[in-house]
């Protein structure tokens, strides 16, 4: 009888089931999944200790189909690696929890992309760093960042904006007329840093946004744009941005660490009160670095559409399988209802809230056992209408007057403070409350 085909979705679950039956709970080996999804296991033991293990698993391992097929050994010892510590002490080893199981295993997942969604960068974050992300573009994210920067500057805060949406830069053009662009942009820093002269352009890559001179503004708004003035080689530079670079002391520095170093250097140079980071939309690794690695808070822009909730569920479900990462990430998330409509508001508000609650409840909130107290400090869970919950949205009301926003609309008083408060008031006050909480 022909064995049923095993697909990627089932292979890891099958492998974990085999291992849990074959080994005691405290002896489960490291699971290594290669870039094709094929699975092997590794013990941090000498090969002589593993005598008979290959044969022990052979009969069961065929249940993995093509995802268990290797020409070489399926059970590896530390003798099989040139540098065992790079495998068994790898920072990329994660605790993985299979769906509907209380058991966990350690997994080293070799991925071409997507690894950054489960990498936490250890940073000393003295300044609030707010990341603004959307699963899809076109939801007014850049305009909201501009309104927030203006609002904070009117309160006397010095704000640094960083445009990390490198492949679709929009914040820079929104905030800066062409003649006020700095000499260099973020892509220039990455290219020059690759040859050891990134520090030389740091003072020459920031522009002062004209909103800093608007009436009533006492703070300063600085913009680190994606590109510099009169840029003619952007794509040639962009193709080199994501490179890992060698370091003099040996080894390499990966792109996420370089991003973190750039933010830290700008923070040290300018001493802003708040850093606002415009992230690339979607599930790209660049967005992952911003949300998981750089931000103290990530504001996730959403509209009440099937596509939006499906996209965020793909992301949240990925975190759900890695409980250690999920616990760290979920506390820094906040949902933004980015295009709250002018009509049928009560129905639309309830619909958005229910979908946001369902998203968090199904993925990142702790399950509530029957008879348990929902308000237990040991549980990360909220009632649907709890305004302190990460699923409870900050609202931005759709207003046609902001559809083609530029800074002149404020400086020329075409858009007034009343206009901004009407459309963005809930969002601005919600973000400001978080900043105040961070700085107390």
Q: Are residues 105 and 142 in the same domain?
A: no
- Given a cut of 70, whether residue 135 has pLDDT beyond it is yes
Per-residue pLDDT of 287-301, as tens digits, reads 888 888 888 899 999
Q: How far apart are CA 385 and CA 403, in angstroms?
A: 30
Q: Are residues 69 and 176 in the same domain?
A: no
Per-residue pLDDT of 80-110, as tens digits, reads 999 999 899 988 899 998 877 778 889 999 8
pLDDT at 116: 82
pTM of the model: 0.90
Query: Hey, which of 10-19, 99-108, 152-161 has the most confident mean pLDDT?
Result: 152-161
> Looking at residues 369-387, what average pLDDT do you find?
77
Domain range enclosing 412: 118-439
DSSP state for residue 80 in the 8-state scheme: G
Q: How far apart are CA 198 and CA 206, in angstroms?
A: 14
DSSP state for residue 50 in the 8-state scheme: G
Hey, what are 427's tokens?
Answer: 């969002």
> Looking at residues 211-239, what average pLDDT do you find?
93
- Output the CA torsion sign for 143, 144, 147, 153: negative
- Given a cut of 60, whether residue 406 has pLDDT beyond it is yes
Q: Are residues 87 and 234 in the same domain?
A: no
Residue 362 CA, chain-centre distance (Å), reads 19
Query: Hey, which of 298-307, 341-350, 369-378 has the most confident mean pLDDT?
Result: 298-307
Angle between helices 234-241 and 186-194 (to 10 degrees): 60
> Looking at residues 304-314, what average pLDDT do you find?
94
Of 47, 77, 112, which residue constitutes the final position of a domain?
112
Mean pLDDT of the chain: 88
pLDDT at 1: 40
Q: Are residues 303 and 373 in the same domain?
A: yes
Q: Are 147 and 263 in contact (CB under 8 A)?
A: no
Higher pLDDT, 253 or 132: 132
**Closest C-alpha to 135, from 318, 324, 350, 344:** 318
Percent helix / strand / coil, the chain, rounded to 5: 45, 15, 40
Of 91, 112, 133, which residue constitutes the final position of a domain?
112
Q: Are residues 66 and 198 in the same domain?
A: no
């Amino acid at each position: 009888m022909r064995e049923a085909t095993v697909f990627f979705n089932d292979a890891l679950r099958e492998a974990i089931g085999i291992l849990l039956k074959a080994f005691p709970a405290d002896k489960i080996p490291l699971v290594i999944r290669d870039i094709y999804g094929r699975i092997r296991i590794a013990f941090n033991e000498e090969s002589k200790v593993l005598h008979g293990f290959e044969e022990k698993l052979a009969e069961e391992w065929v249940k993995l189909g093509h995802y268990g097929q290797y020409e070489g050994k399926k059970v590896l010892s530390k003798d099989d690696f040139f540098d065992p510590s790079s495998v068994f002490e790898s920072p990329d080893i994660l605790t993985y929890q299979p769906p509907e199981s209380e058991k966990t295993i350690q997994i080293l997942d070799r991925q071409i992309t997507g690894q950054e969604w489960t990498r936490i960068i250890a940073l000393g974050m003295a300044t609030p760093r707010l990341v603004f992300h959307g699963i899809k573009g076109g939801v007014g994210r850049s305009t909201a960042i501009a309104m927030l920067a203006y609002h904070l500057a009117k309160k006397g805060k010095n704000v640094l904006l960083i445009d990390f949406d490198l492949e679709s830069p929009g914040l820079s053009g929104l905030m800066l007329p062409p003649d006020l662009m700095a000499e260099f942009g973020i892509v220039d820093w990455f290219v020059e840093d690759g040859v050891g002269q990134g520090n030389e352009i740091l003072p020459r890559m920031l522009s002062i946004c004209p909103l800093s001179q608007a009436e009533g503004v006492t703070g300063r708004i600085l913009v680190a744009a994606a590109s510099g003035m009169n840029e003619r080689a952007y794509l040639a530079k962009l193709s080199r941005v994501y490179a890992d670079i060698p370091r003099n002391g040996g080894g390499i520095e990966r792109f996420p660490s370089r991003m973190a170093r750039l933010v830290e250097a700008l923070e040290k140079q300018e001493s802003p009160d708040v850093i606002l980071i415009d992230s690339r939309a979607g599930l790209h690794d660049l967005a992952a670095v911003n949300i998981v690695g750089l931000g103290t808070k990530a504001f996730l822009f959403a509209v009440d559409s099937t596509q939006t909730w499906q996209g965020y569920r793909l992301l949240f479900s990925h975190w759900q399988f890695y409980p250690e990462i999920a616990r760290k990430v979920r506390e820094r998330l906040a949902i933004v209802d980015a295009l709250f409509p002018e009509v049928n508001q009560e129905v639309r508000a309830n619909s958005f809230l229910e979908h946001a609650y369902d998203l968090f409840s199904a993925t990142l909130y702790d399950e509530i056992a029957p008879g348990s107290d929902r308000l237990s400090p040991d549980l990360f869970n909220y009632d649907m209408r709890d305004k302190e919950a990460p699923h409870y949205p900050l609202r931005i009301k759709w207003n046609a007057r902001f559809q083609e926003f530029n800074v002149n609309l404020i400086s020329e008083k075409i858009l007034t403070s009343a206009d901004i408060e009407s459309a963005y008031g809930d969002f601005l006050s919600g973000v400001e409350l978080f900043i105040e909480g961070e700085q107390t």
